[in-house]
Structures are given as structure tokens and as C-alpha cells.
């Protein structure tokens, strides 16, 4: 369980980005944090991951105060963060990236192929490829998700995973998130405006102007979020393309 108590953060110029956020996310849930642009969503995700340090407040992971732990120490405790724009590694193969992500666990090619299969990639064709500009945005996104699976983390955070990818890749991302959540377990936090992603959530958190507007089960929050104008509607217009 991740618990945030009175989290606040301001830019060096003094602009308040987060203002007294209190939030509890139970284990095993898929939680989507949504809200208007500039509302503090990405900053909140980075604070949970340890990339940004809050000005005030406390962060607890399974009851342990991790407020002062950096991103490396949090990763050791099972927290992973996937950036909106994944890093490309010229000269590094997919096999090497996944093995590094697995840490001390030595994975066979068959195991690595199973991990890639979880994100909808034809595994045997990818292990030897470089994680470079030769791969599409959708491929890079799914390889990054595969690296999170390889880590076997208890809490995985994804910042706008749909950014910069095509419709086909987006549909496969949805399948990957469902598979991770339903088959592999763990807690997922996804930052997103997309209605299609909102609809796979267990719980939805609405963040606006740095404050927690509301949170609750997805079936109770959907209409509130959509009527607030916080969610993007591109997916609704492309519903036929996303049929699975």
C-alpha cells in the first residue's frame, strides 16, 4: 500500500504545483490519476517514485516511511517508474535491457520471450534488436513495460504511456496493462487523460490545480471525470479501431 500524507511541492520560482495531497492506494489496484494539464499529475508520480522530493508531507510504502529515500532505494523496495518518453539505448539490445532490469535473476531467452509476449511483441524477433531509433514509439513503450515486468516490482508507475504512439500500439498497450494487472499482480498507477485507459481502472483519482478533487471506484468516478472535461475523447471517436 502506498500512502501520501499532506504532500506539497512548489517550483524554485515559488509556483505551487501540489498543495496538501492526501491519498491512499491499496495493494493490487490499477489506479488512474487524471485531471487538467498542469494539475500536478506528473509531479505527484515523480514524488511517489522518488525522482522529486516534496517540500512537505510524508510518503509510506507498506507502512515504511520512504519520504527521504531516493529513486534507487525505492526501486530496491519494488517501485518502478516509466517515463512519458522512454529512453532509447543505442548499442543495447532488448535482451540486455530486460536482463539488466531483472537484476540478480538470470533469465533464459525463453523467459525473456514470455515477458515480451506479455506486451504483444513477437519475442524471437526482438531480443537481439537495439533499443534505439530503429524501433517505433509503440515498440519502445511496450519494451519499457516489459522491462517493468522483468523487474517484478510491487508498484509500477506509468506517466502518460499513450503519448506519441499510433492507434494500433495504443490498443496493444491497453491489452498489456490488463495482462499485467490481471495475470501478474502488483499495483499500477497510470497518469492519463484517455477515456479508454480510465475504463480499465479499479479506481480513479482526479487531480486539479495541485489538489485532490476526488477519488473512488472507477464505476462511481467515470461520469464525474468525463463531465468535468478532464478526460480526452480521442479514444471515444476511435472506438471501432480499439475493438478487441
200 and 219 in contact (C-beta within 8 Å)? no
Q: Give the list of residues 6+ apart from residue 70 with CB closer than 8 angstroms, or none.
A: 50
In the chain, the number of structural domains is 1
- pLDDT for residue 242: 36
The CATH number covering residue 137 comes to 3.40.50.300
Task: Note down pLDDT in tens along the chain; length 244 residues.
Answer: 899 999 999 999 999 999 999 999 988 899 999 988 888 999 999 999 999 999 999 999 999 999 999 988 998 888 988 876 556 777 888 898 888 888 788 889 898 988 888 777 877 788 888 888 778 777 887 888 888 888 877 888 988 887 767 777 777 778 878 877 876 678 999 998 888 889 899 999 999 889 988 888 988 888 777 776 555 433 343 333 333 3
Domain range for 43: 2-242
Query: Strand 203-208 and strand 30-34: pairing?
Result: parallel
- pLDDT for residue 232: 43
Amino acid at each position: 500500500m502506498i500512502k501520501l500524507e499532506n504532500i506539497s511541492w512548489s517550483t524554485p520560482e515559488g509556483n505551487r504545483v501540489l498543495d496538501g495531497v492526501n491519498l491512499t492506494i491499496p495493494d493490487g489496484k490499477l489506479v488512474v490519476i487524471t485531471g487538467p494539464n498542469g494539475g500536478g499529475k506528473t509531479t505527484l508520480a515523480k514524488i511517489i517514485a522518488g525522482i522529486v522530493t516534496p517540500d512537505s508531507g510524508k510518503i509510506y510504502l507498506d507502512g515504511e516511511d520512504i519520504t527521504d529515500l531516493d529513486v534507487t532505494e525505492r526501486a530496491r523496495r519494488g517501485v518502478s517508474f516509466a517515463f512519458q518518453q522512454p529512453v532509447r539505448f543505442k548499442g543495447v539490445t532488448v535482451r540486455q535491457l530486460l536482463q539488466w532490469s531483472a537484476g540478480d535473476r538470470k533469465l533464459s531467452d525463453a523467459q525473456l520471450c514470455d515477458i515480451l509476449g506479455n506486451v504483444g511483441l513477437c519475442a524471437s524477433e526482438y531480443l537481439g534488436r537495439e533499443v534505439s531509433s530503429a524501433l517505433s514509439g509503440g515498440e519502445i513503450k511496450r519494451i519499457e513495460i516489459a522491462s517493468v515486468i522483468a523487474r517484478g516490482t510491487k508498484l509500477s508507475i506509468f506517466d502518460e504511456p499513450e503519448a506519441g504512439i499510433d492507434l494500433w500500439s495504443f490498443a496493444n498497450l491497453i491489452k498489456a496493462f490488463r495482462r499485467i494487472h490481471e495475470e501478474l499482480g502488483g499495483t499500477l498507477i497510470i497518469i492519463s487523460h484517455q477515456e479508454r485507459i480510465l475504463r480499465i481502472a479499479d479506481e480513479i483519482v482526479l487531480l486539479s490545480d495541485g489538489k485532490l478533487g476526488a477519488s473512488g471506484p472507477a464505476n462511481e468516478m467515470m461520469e464525474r471525470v468525463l463531465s468535468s472535461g478532464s478526460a480526452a475523447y480521442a479514444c471515444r471517436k476511435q472506438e471501432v479501431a480499439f475493438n478487441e
